[in-house]
Amino acid sequence: MDNYSKYKKGYYPVGGEYCKWTQKDHIEKAPIWCSVDLRDGNQALIVPMSLEEKIEFFNYLVKIGFKEIEVGFPAASETEYKFLRTLIEEDMVPDDVTLQVLTQSRKHIIKKTFDSLLGAKKAIVHLYNSTSVAQREQVFKKEKEEIKQIALNGAKLIKECAAQPEYRGTEFSFEYSPESFTGTETDYAAEVCNGVIDIWEPTADNKVIINLPATVAMSMPHVYASQIEYMCEHLHNRENIIVSLHPHNDRGTAVADAELGLLAGGDRVEGTLFGNGERTGNVDIVTVALNMFSQGVDPELDFSNMPETVSVYEKYTDMKVHPRQPYAGQLVFAAFSGSHQDAIAKGMKYRVDRDTSKWNVPYLPIDPKDVGREYEADVIRINSQSGKGGVAYILENNFGYIIPAGMREEIGYMVKDISDREHKELTPIEVYRAFAKEYVNVFDHIDITDAVFEKASSFRANDGMIVKIKVRIAEEIYEFEALGNGRLDAISNALKMSPYTFNYKFITYSEHALSTDSHSKAAAYVCIEDMNGNIFWGVGIHEDIILASVNALVSALNRQNKKDHFVE
């Protein structure tokens, strides 16, 4: 790309002394949140929301905890005017929620804006005019003082309108935005804002909001943060000012702009769910809020049912949440990589074993359950990149099988091969079916249909057993009786009395209940090794743990002899 030289390197940085925010490493408390989904977000939709859709979306924003909601530009659209009147006249606004409306600094627009607010309990009147160099020179063709006067005239008129008798029942707050703040000389932005502040005369009981938008993101996040710190130190009556941030995402840094802006002194954030807005969008409040949550700070918004939040957003905006969207995307907690799956599975087990109070699981910045996601469906996902840890986790957490460590790699490769061959992700049930088909209660061509044990009192060890078995081998029925130093050894010795040659030795055996239910089945795992050093695993399940172990041995033998065939 050869045209890079026509772009400026940074926009209106302030001096290096405005960097105290760099000494902070986290945001200590949630800001005041203001949703602009119904105004900034709605105006960016290909098909804006209908009145009914706006009402339903408004109710959802209230449900998840927003206390300030910008509902539109009532003087600019009959739909938005009617929406606001509907909210007020039908008493749909909770007492702790404040409506915010946007207005330009023009007399007839301000007048209609106030008409739309008649009867409101609480309202923020948001005045803006553009102050940037580009807008002054190219759009308005006005000097600095003329642009400043537009803001001052609007501020005076708003103050006069709010003082009219018909609005005595409304608790008003005033907000001013030097639109295109990031394209404005910072000292000049402070001058304009201070002129507005002096007119509105904020007090501790009636603070003024100064909103500093990155209407177009023009510089790196640290520059925006230093600009915010500069403004915080130069605004009149700062203790009675709420400094608000309104970052847009042109550079893909809106979340960083908001977070660093809060460190630099910001008190409030205007944004949208999932960053919906013009061009590349607004700051994503979901991400900023859950970033705080992940650092142990109460975000004061409820995203505990993220699937619902995604569903509502997609329904009313007709847009899709990206599968990799932080915290909300379908795949953000998914681990396909074998090493990642193994680390997650071990981290989960560590939490259970140690009963740790703080979340610290590898590859999972937060507990997926805290946002309404399920480990089984959302975390460990199986495809050709998966490994032994992930497959074992699926089998244990979904189906109760605690796979022995020595067996995990073999099962992992088997499942990976299936996924690779079929070129698709495998669901948990598909993983289980592949595992069960290959390892569990495999009774072809050997099947012990009956086994009766009794203690061998004459045996030299306490665990000596005698077994009588009935077995089908290659469609022939046999009955054998043998002695062994345990049940499986006795079974093995009985089988060796058949006309077939079974060459193997035991490597390991384990067992467990498949659930805590007293009626649940037991699972047993047997590993045998042939004379060439090849190992074969088998899994048996049965209501009786003894018969489960018999089934496991039979499964291992059938897997061995599937490879070797029968030797008479």
CA dist., res. 484 & res. 351, Å (int):
42
Please provide the distance, in angstroms rounded to a whole number, between the alpha carbons at the two ends of the chain: 75
Going by pLDDT thresholds of 50, 70 and 90, the confidence category of residue 241 is: very high
42 and 107 housed in the same domain: yes
pLDDT, mean of residues 131-154: 96
Q: Is the domain of 450 the same as that of 435? A: no
Task: Give pLDDT, residue 461.
Answer: 55
User: Strand 98-104 and strand 68-72: pairing?
Assistant: parallel
pLDDT, tens digit, 9 for 90 and up, residues 279-336: 999 999 999 999 999 999 999 999 999 999 999 999 999 999 999 999 999 999 987 7
Calculate the average pLDDT of the chain. Answer: 92
Work out the number of other CB atoms within 10 angstroms of the CB of residue 510: 17
Q: How far is CA 375 from CA 46, 140, 273, 425, 501, in A?
A: 36, 56, 24, 16, 46
Within a domain: 428: yes
Is the pLDDT at 109 greater than 70? The verdict is yes
Residue 306 covered by a domain: no
Would you call 73 exposed, middle or buried from its count of C-beta atoms within 10 A (0-12, 13-18, 19+)?
buried
DSSP letters, 470-498, are: EEEETTEEEEEEEEESSHHHHHHHHHTTS
Q: How many CA atoms lie within 13 A of 150 on its CB side?
A: 19
Rounded CA-CA distance 496/509 in Å is: 19
Residue 412 lies in a domain: yes
Angle (nearest 5°) at CA 553 between 551 and 556: 110
Q: Is residue 383 in some structural domain?
A: yes
Q: Reading across the β-sheet that carries 505-513, which strands appear in turn?
A: 505-513, 522-529, 535-542
Q: Is residue 316 part of a domain?
A: no
Whether residue 321 lies inside any domain: the answer is no
Q: Cβ distance 40 to 71 under 8 Å?
A: no
If asked whether residues 431 and 463 sit together in one domain, one would say no
> Is the same domain home to 23 and 76?
yes
pLDDT at position 459 = 57
Query: Which of 444, 439, 353 has the alpha carbon at shortest distance from 392?
Result: 439
Asked if 504 and 423 sit in the same domain, the reply is no
Closest CA to 381 of 333, 329, 347, 310: 333
- Model confidence at 458, in pLDDT bands (50, 70, 90)? low
**Domain for residue 327, yes or no?**
no
Of 198, 221, 176, 201, the C-alpha closest to 19 is 221
Question: Which of 301, 326, 348 delimits the end of a domain?
Answer: 301
Q: What are phi and psi of 290, to 5 degrees?
A: -75, -25
Residue 359, domain extent: 338-439
Q: Do 296 and 346 lie in a common domain?
A: no
Domain with residue 86: its CATH number is 3.20.20.70
Rounded percentage of the chain residues whose pLDDT exceeds 90: 74
Give tens-digit pLDDT for 368-426.
Answer: 999 999 876 667 777 767 767 788 888 988 899 999 999 999 998 999 899 889 988 88
CA distance 213 to 532: 73
Distance between CA atoms of residues 560 and 564, nearest Å: 6
In angstroms, the CA 259 to CA 222 distance is: 10
CB 247 within 8 A of CB 283: yes
Taking only the tens place, the pLDDT of each residue in 266-289 is 999 999 999 999 999 999 999 999
Q: With both helix axes pointing from N to C terminus, report the angle between 388-399 and 428-439 in degrees, rounded to the nearest 10.
A: 100
Note whether 282 and 379 are same-domain residues.
no
**Structural domain ending residue among the three candidates 405, 423, 439:** 439
Q: What are the strands, taking DSSP E only, across 229-334?
A: 241-247, 268-271
Supply 206's token pair.
Answer: 């009636």
241 close to 194: Cβ distance less than 8 angstroms:
no
- Three-point CA angle 526, 529, 533, nearest 5°: 150
Residues paired with 539 in a beta bridge: 440, 525
Q: What is the DSSP letter of 8?
A: -
**Torsion angle (degrees, nearest 10) of CA 344, 252, 316, 32:** 90
Is the same domain home to 164 and 227?
yes
Same-domain status, 185 and 63? yes
DSSP symbols for 436-464: HHHHBS--SSEEEEEEEEEE-TTSSSTT-
152 and 184 co-located in one domain: yes
Confidence tier at 77 by pLDDT (50, 70, 90): confident
- What's the average model confidence in pLDDT over 171-192? 97
Residue 4 lies in a domain: no
Longest dimension (CA), the chain: 111
Supply 313's token pair: 């957003």
pLDDT above 80 for 455: yes
Give pLDDT, residue 5. 85
Taking alpha carbons only, the member of 246, 247, 327 closest to residue 287 is 327
Same domain? 417 vs 465: no
Which pLDDT tens digit goes with each residue over 516-541?
Answer: 565 679 999 999 999 899 999 999 99
Burial (CB < 10 A; 0-12, 13-18, 19+), residue 485, is: middle
CB atoms within 10 A of CB 340: 21
Do both 351 and 400 map to the same domain? yes
Question: d(Cα 289, Cα 370) in Å, to the nearest integer?
Answer: 13
Structure tokens at 430: 């598909």
* Tally of structural domains, the chain: 3
| Residue that terminates a domain, selected from 408, 439, 470 | 439
Q: What pLDDT, on a 0 to 100 scale, did the predictor assign at position 566?
A: 52
Query: 521 — alpha (psi -120 to 50), left (phi > 0) or beta?
Result: beta
Q: Name the residue type at position 533.
A: G
Tell me the pLDDT tens digit for each residue of 79-101.
899 999 999 999 999 999 999 99
At 475, which CATH number?
3.30.160.270
Note if the bond before 423 is cis, omega within 30 degrees. no
